[in-house]
């Protein structure tokens, strides 16, 4: 039986997530321009928290490339690196394609979850709710990793903080992103997954990332 996390840890985690979201928004909207120095103590005072959740939030954003920390210089904002973003998606594509090979055939309960993901994505696409659509698509892709039942795959996938990278990506491809087209690619993927067609599922994953990377390369 797994142990419950102490309330203090849960509270700190929630604060870290909120702080991280605020920092990402400020960086992407330009309030925190490249080169700007971020100080833990100043941010902690602003958010009314201890330095621990601020430090954790900064560490996570450093992993995404939005921040860099140098000895004696502190933490600074970085310009978004488009090439690094494309390289990260190439790695994720390989990870998810292998996850599909390990996951099939799916348990019926998992098939139902994938179908539910598609329904949510279709609803968001119909309302042109782009941020919500991207979030739902991320949940579907993470479910691919969960389905293969390899904890190291999941740790690797999570370590890239794809929710943050997705927001960076949307900044680049928002005008080119056709929700109906990307939805259809995911519909095809789920149809192959549920039917247990391994080769077709792998190809569908590849097609999804090829389309995304092509949009990034057009920038």
Using only C-alpha atoms, the chain has a radius of gyration, in whole angstroms, of: 19
According to the CATH classification, is domain 82-217 in 1.20.120.530?
Answer: yes
The pLDDT score that the predictor gives to residue 125 is 98
Per-residue pLDDT of the chain (219 residues; tens, 9 = 90+): 334 434 444 456 689 999 999 999 999 999 999 999 999 999 999 999 999 999 999 999 999 999 999 888 889 999 989 999 999 999 999 999 999 999 999 999 999 999 999 999 999 999 999 999 999 999 999 999 999 999 999 999 999 999 999 999 999 999 999 999 999 999 999 999 999 999 999 999 999 999 999 999 998
The pLDDT score that the predictor gives to residue 12 is 60
Q: What are phi and psi of 76, to 5 degrees?
A: -130, 155
pLDDT tens for each residue of 39-70: 999 999 999 999 999 999 999 999 999 999 98
Q: How many CA atoms lie within 13 A of 110 on its CB side?
A: 21
The pLDDT score that the predictor gives to residue 180 is 97
What predicted TM-score, i.e. pTM, was given to this entire model? 0.88
**Cβ neighbours for 116, distance < 8 A, ≥ 6 positions apart:** none
Residues 28, 135: Cα–Cα separation, whole Å: 17
3-state SS class at 74: strand
Q: What is the pLDDT of the chain when averaged over all its residues?
A: 93
| Residue 214: CB atoms within 10 Å | 12
Q: What CATH number has the domain spanning 7-77?
A: 1.10.10.10
In the chain, where are the structural domains located? Answer: 7-77, 82-217
| Residue 116: CB atoms within 10 Å | 14
Q: What are phi and psi of 150, to 5 degrees?
A: -115, 110
The pLDDT score that the predictor gives to residue 73 is 83
């Amino acid at each position: 039986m797994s142990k419950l996390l102490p309330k203090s840890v849960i509270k700190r985690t929630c604060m870290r997530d909120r702080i991280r979201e605020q920092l990402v928004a400020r960086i992407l909207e330009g309030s925190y321009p490249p080169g700007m120095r971020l100080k833990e103590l100043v941010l902690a005072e602003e958010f009314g928290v201890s330095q621990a959740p601020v430090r954790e939030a900064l560490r996570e954003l450093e992993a995404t490339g939005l921040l860099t920390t140098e000895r004696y210089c502190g933490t600074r904002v970085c310009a978004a690196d488009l090439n690094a973003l494309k390289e990260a998606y190439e790695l994720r594509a390989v990870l998810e394609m292998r996850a599909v090979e390990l996951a099939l055939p799916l348990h019926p309960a998992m098939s139902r979850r994938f179908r539910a993901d598609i329904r949510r994505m279709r609803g968001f696409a119909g309302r042109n709710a782009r941020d919500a659509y991207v979030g739902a698509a991320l949940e579907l892709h993470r479910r691919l990793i969960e389905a293969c039942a390899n904890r190291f795959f999941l740790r690797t996938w999570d370590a890239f903080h794809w929710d943050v990278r997705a927001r960076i990506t949307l900044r680049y491809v928002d005008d080119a992103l056709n929700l109906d087209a990307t939805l259809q690619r995911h519909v095809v993927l789920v149809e192959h997954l549920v039917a247990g067609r391994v080769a077709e599922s792998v190809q569908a994953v590849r097609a999804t990332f090829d389309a995304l990377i092509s949009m990034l390369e057009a920038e």
